[in-house]
Amino acid sequence: MVRFAILIVIITLLVLARKSKPAGNKLGHEIVALPTLESEPSRLKVATFNIQTGKNLNGRRNLRASADVVAQADLVGIQEVYAPSLANLAGIGLSQTEKIATHGGFGWLFCATRRRWLREHRGNAILSRLPIDHWQVEMLSDESGKSFRNMTVAKVQWQGESFHFINTHLHTRGGREEQLLEVLQAFAKYPRAILLGDFNSRATTPALSNALKNIDVTDAVSAAGLDLNNPERIDWILTKGFRVEAGEMLEKGVSDHPYYQVTLSYK
């Protein structure tokens, strides 16, 4: 009887540990391992990439390939990245975010969306070569009870001025429009800002369509002449207070999402 009771307790604890929970809000100053630059870039290369935890289009994990792709940018929003493992937390090996950042010479900030197995499990990340003097992670509204989402708002310094950089990954189904409204409202608060990520939303989505009608908002991917004939695009870089100078993209292959990068200057 005692053994049976112990077994029930163990099973219960495993079930509870396996269940996904929201990671919660956070805030802080600076990021990890910010590099010291000899000179600031005169043009800012900004990118978004859903790396699918390093898996390529065939489902094989090749994190080095993702790291190679983003290494050319100055400021990157990464989506779908694993949190540090238990081994990483014990000082063994590098987490996915740290591996990518180290390869490209970035400072980094991992922003968990959910907790599982008694630790942060997965989320998004910001990679930067520019100083960040304040950041906050805000959980978004949720209807799923398991697939939690967030946005990270970071204040970035460049060329003697500052702007806000927002990275997010929205839900695929119920509640997505509410989440989209939340991140667009945050974006609207700042006179100079970049909002990017995997919105899981096409240009025809009402909230996004309305935002794109704002004369101050630029769809930087389209402005750079990238992926113009793709009505199914769900990855976005929106800007306010910037001029789009150029852009590059990589089709699906390294990940199940394309990579988008735009070159910006201040207006």
Range of the domain at 111: 21-266
- On whether residue 222 sits in a domain, the answer given is yes
Asked whether the CA dihedral 211, 215, 220, 226 is positive or negative, the reply is positive
Residues β-bridged to residue 26: 137
What pLDDT is stored for residue 8 in this prediction?
A: 56
CATH of the domain at 238: 3.60.10.10
- Given a cut of 60, whether residue 255 has pLDDT beyond it is yes
Report the alpha-carbon distance of residue 96 to residue 118 in Å, rounded: 19
- Spell out the residues 6+ positions from residue 211 whose beta carbon is closer than 8 angstroms to its own: 184, 187, 217, 238
Question: Residue 238 and residue 240: Cα distance in Å, rounded?
Answer: 7
Number of domains in the chain: 1
pLDDT tens, residue by residue, 43-65 = 999 999 999 999 999 999 999 99
What is the per-residue pLDDT across 225-246, written as a single tens digit (0 to 9) for each? 999 999 999 999 999 999 999 9
* Residue scoring higher pLDDT (10 or 40): 40
Given a cut of 50, whether residue 116 has pLDDT beyond it is: yes
Strand partners of residue 257:
none
Q: How far is the C-alpha of 132 from the C-alpha of 108, rounded, in Å?
A: 10
